[in-house]
Structure 1
Amino acid sequence: MGIRERFRLDGRVALVTGGSRGLGLQMAEALGEMGCKVVISARKADELDEAQTHLKRHGVEAKTVVSDLQQIERIPALVDDVLAAHGRIDILVNNAGATWGAPTEDYPDAAWHKVMNLNVNAPFFLTREVGRRSMIPRRGGKIVNIASIAGLRGMGRGVHTIAYNTSKAAMINFTRALASEWGRYGINVNAICPGFFPSKMSAGLLDTIGDEVIRRTPLQRLGDDDDLKGALVYFASDASRHVTGQYLAVDGGRSAI
């Protein structure tokens, strides 16, 4: 197989959570462009409809599934929908997430539970369901967890996101632990750690510290709509068949300093 063919994803089925906007939509677009049958899930039907229209304009046909991953008991139904449509799940992108800003001493209980439930619990239960119902029986699959450089370091001055940082650090070690366990099934598990990308989630924070972030980033820029696509396709494709348990920072070099 030539190197170009190793990056192709023709006919494979990919589920992207939080795929209706932002980084999730960008990654769904990349997978579709490389030949995947794409399924995107999110909480809001109207946003999924907009995302489906956006993808169609870019030549990507995508199935949508309305699913609130904080309702853990509904996760099997999400997997049911994907398997009913396509019969298998070859690629799982755990992208859906949440954040909350407050000083630790004042951090609301409900906020802590919301962030940890969506960023840690939901990916575990969804991954377990996909693994035992599709990937393990088929002896293969690609799991890509979207962590963050926030999971690699403490919070910057004036940034109060302790639950988010904690949850993303958990996802990095979840990736490593699962890779060591499921490698015997031919399943690759890796993580991408984005830096600062403009999105609905980061908008308020970047309004405050955006100029400082750019100044302290070696490449002197924020991420854009295309900057995660290459990393995702690499981890989702046969190009990374001998890579598992790893995380890749896509952050313009910010985590290097």
Structure 2
Amino acid sequence: MSSKQLFDLTGQTAMVTGGGSGLGRVMALALAEAGANVVVCSRRLEVCKEVVKEIEALGRQALAISLDVTAPESVVQAVEKAVSYFGKVEILVNSSGTVFETPATEMPLEQWQSMLNTNVTGTFLMCQAVGKHMINNEYGKIINISSSIGFKGVDPEAVDSVGYTTSKGAVMTLTKDLAVKWGRHGVYVNSIAPGVFTTGMNNPEIPGTLVHKAGPIIASQVPVRRLGRDDDLTGALLYFASAASDYCTGQILVLDGGLGSK
């Protein structure tokens, strides 16, 4: 197989949660550019429809689906729609996520539960529903989006959200365990752990976002001296989504500009 063929996703179908905005949108478009048809899912159907238009402009097929990853019935219905429309789902990207910044001593239980329900339970429910389909077809690629801050404690001046760091650490363990359980069925489960990327949730130029104040401080500490950009993510995504990673499962690929190596 040639190098180009290793990364070619032509004829495959990818399902991206949180695909209507931020890094989810970036990944949905990257998968389409690599040849995949894409199911774009999030709670906000209208933004998903806008991404579908962008994908169709690339010459690929796409479908927008309203999805609440914390609701089992919504997950099952979304997967059924995707399979009914395209016949198969070979690639799943779990990008839905939420974050609240509150000191640990003050964090309301509702915030804690919301982050775990969306970031962990939502990821599990999607893996479960799509995983059954993939196991039946004896093939699938699952990419869970965790975070580099899920590995260890984080200075509160950078990110003050114990619920978020806890949830992302859990996503990594979920990834490894499912990889062990499902590898024999031809289902690969890996995770991308981004550092701080410039998105709607993380934009130092927009007041009220997670790193509005801390962005310049964080960038100065990153060995490559900048925050992550869209293109920094897509190569890793396409590796895990394609035949290029057919001997790789249960792995966490950190994209943090070297910050975690310090």
The verdict on how the C-alpha distance between 1:87 and 1:56 changes in structure 2, with shifts beyond 3 A counting, is closer
Structure 2 unaligned segments of length 5 or more: list them: 204-208
Q: Which residue of 1 aligns with 2:162?
A: 162
Deviations 1:42-78 (A, max 9, x none): 1112211222233334444321101121223321101
1:212 and 2:223 aligned? no
1:255 and 2:254 aligned? no
- Provide the aligned length of Structure 1 versus Structure 2: 256
Q: Which residue of 1 aligns with 2:125?
A: 125
1:127 aligned partner, one-letter code: C
Q: Which residue of 1 aligns with 2:232?
A: 227
Q: Which residue of 2 aligns with 1:43?
A: 43
Answer yes or no: is the 8 Å Cα contact 1:29–1:60 preserved in 2: no
1:155 aligned partner, one-letter code: V
Deviates more, 1:229-238 or 1:198-207: 198-207
1:143 and 2:136 aligned? no
Structure 1 unaligned segments of length 5 or more: list them: none
Q: Which residue of 2 aligns with 1:18?
A: 18
Which residues in structure 2 correspond to 1:78-117 (within 5 Å)? 78-117=78-117
Paired with 2:46 and 2:82, the residues of 1 have a C-alpha distance of: 19
Paired with 1:254 and 1:57, the residues of 2 have a C-alpha distance of: 37
1:78 aligned partner, one-letter code: A
Q: Which residue of 2 aligns with 1:172?
A: 172
| Identity rate, percent | 38
Deviations 1:14-67 (A, max 9, x none): 000000011001111111011101111011122112222333344443211011
Secondary structure of the residue aligned to 1:39 is strand
Answer yes or no: is the 8 Å Cα contact 1:13–1:36 preserved in 2: yes
Q: Supply the RMSD in Å over aligned alpha carbons.
A: 1.2
Secondary structure of the residue aligned to 1:97 is coil
- TM-score normalised to structure 1 length: 0.96
Deviations 1:217-244 (A, max 9, x none): 0111111122110000000001010000
Paired with 2:129 and 2:210, the residues of 1 have a C-alpha distance of: 34
Deviates more, 1:40-49 or 1:109-118: 40-49
1:242 and 2:247 aligned? yes
Secondary structure of the residue aligned to 1:98 is coil
